[in-house]
Amino acid sequence: MRVLVVEDEPQLTLALERALEAAGFAVDTAYDGENGWHLGDTESYDAAILDLGLPKIDGITVLGRWREAGRTMPVMVLTARARWAEKSQAFNAGADDYVTKPFEMEEVVTRIRALIRRAAGHAAPEIACGPLRIDTNGGRVSRDGMPIALTAQEFRILSYLAHHQGRVVSRSELVEHVYDRDADPDSNVLDVLVARIRRKLGVEAIHTLRGQGWRMEVPDDGA
């Protein structure tokens, strides 16, 4: 999962980036509203964290422009502004969540996970796919109750496919959502990683559709 952080305080931005990466997210950052708006308008994100008091373009304007352009990723406003009028303005502009500073970093990570799940149609933190269970909060995977060890990147790929199970995810979409914008993976790296995930899962859960991409789906009986 890929998250955009638009925040003008360098230390806070770095702390958010580290916490989100430790939680398994790919993270892009912007330090002003102009760059943040551009990234959110041209790149693919599963969620965004947006400050309001930004240089160049304020956060409310950035949010409004994203929504007017049809950008639907969940947006968490993260700001020191605590008045109800400002909260109302943010929600009316299209915010999905509002957190005031100071805050607990763990709370932000948990809320971002919840926003992404709900945007994909999953209310519970555990996503089921046949005998597989993907714990999006704990970053754990199990089959019939037995844990499966995945690397951080393998879990990121599996998590994205699980969030969107039942539909085809193209190669370009998967790259956009599991790597940050500075990454340049080799052409066959996803094939290698998906093959490795398949072996570890031990169940036919990820199906390759030649020329289209991958679809995660397991029959009801787990066969």
Instruction: Return the CATH number at 51.
Output: 3.40.50.2300
Same-domain check for residues 18 and 89: yes
- What's the pLDDT score for residue 222? 43
Q: Name the pTM for this structure.
A: 0.83
Same-domain check for residues 17 and 68: yes
Domain end, chosen from 74, 101, 119, is at 119
Indicate the residue type of 204: E
Q: Which two three-digit tokens encode residue 124?
A: 């519970």
- What's the pLDDT score for residue 43? 93
Domain end, chosen from 57, 88, 119, is at 119
φ and ψ of 3, to 5 deg: -125, 140
Q: Which two three-digit tokens encode residue 72?
A: 């639907």
Residue 222 domain flag: no
Same-domain check for residues 73 and 163: no
pLDDT block averages, 10 residues each, the chain of length 223: 95 96 93 97 95 96 96 95 92 96 93 92 88 90 93 92 92 87 74 92 89 83 45
The whole-angstrom distance between residue 66's C-alpha and the CA centroid of its chain comes to: 17
Task: Residue 147: give the domain boundaries.
Answer: 126-216
Same-domain check for residues 103 and 81: yes
Is the CA virtual torsion 19, 192, 216, 120 positive or negative? positive
